[in-house]
Structure 1
Amino acid sequence: MEIALEVNAQGLRCPQPILRAKRALATLESGQLLLVTATDSGSLQDFSAFAKQTGNALVEQRTDEAGIHHFIIRRR
């Protein structure tokens, strides 16, 4: 997977990770991938709902050993 843009939203609380992702997605072309990293546990549900509401695809969602959540979103 080729990530077109990365957004570091670590340390930010809801709704900031989603807002930053939304702004970043607006700069991408259809089909490009965005990687967002966040530490807010609420972002796990937020990004799933965000993808469904906006029509963008949540390609991958994982949490690493350090507790950082990684979300890869494909722009619609």
Structure 2
Amino acid sequence: MSDSDIAARYDLRGLKCPLPVLKTRKRMVSLEPGALVWVETTDPLAVVDIPHFCSEDGHRLVETRTVDGGHHFLIEKRR
């Protein structure tokens, strides 16, 4: 899947726990089921927090990428 297939990018770089999860949760509410979003973070705890959020809220974590200074997470809204 290429980045051009993605509906949205959500830049949460510079935010610390728990803000990346709280803001991602709020953003996901406005999306239709099946929508995809890349979440970009610099918070080192996001590698634990974002997968846990997806599991708890019923979304699918499609991909995790480690990038310079942080991580990118591709999330599919499920419900």
Letter in 2 for 1:27: S
Q: After TM superposition, what 4+ stretches of structure 1 lie above 2 angstroms from structure 2?
A: none
State yes or no: 1:8 paired with 2:11.
Answer: yes
In 2, Cα distance between the equivalents of 1:38 and 1:19? 13
Query: Is 2:12–2:40's contact at 8 Å kept on the other side of the alignment?
Result: yes
Q: Write out aligned runs for 1:36-47 (5 A).
A: 36-47=39-50
SS at structure 2 position matched to 1:10? coil
1:32 aligns with 2:30: no
* Mapped pair 1:56 → 2:63: no
Instruction: List per-residue Cα deviations over 1:3-58 (Å, max 9, x = no partner).
Output: 22211110100011111111111111000101100001000000111111011000
Work out the percentage of aligned pairs sharing the same amino acid: 40
* One-letter code aligned to 1:70: H
TM-score (norm 1): 0.92
Q: Structure 1: which 5+ residue stretches go unaligned?
A: none
> Does the 8 A contact of 1:37 with 1:71 survive in 2?
yes
Question: Is the partner of 2:10 in helix, strand or coil?
Answer: strand
What number of residue pairs does the alignment pair up?
Answer: 75
Gaps of 5+ in 2: none
Checking the alignment, whether the CA contact within 8 Å between 1:5 and 1:24 is kept in structure 2 is no
**RMSD, matched Cα:** 1.0
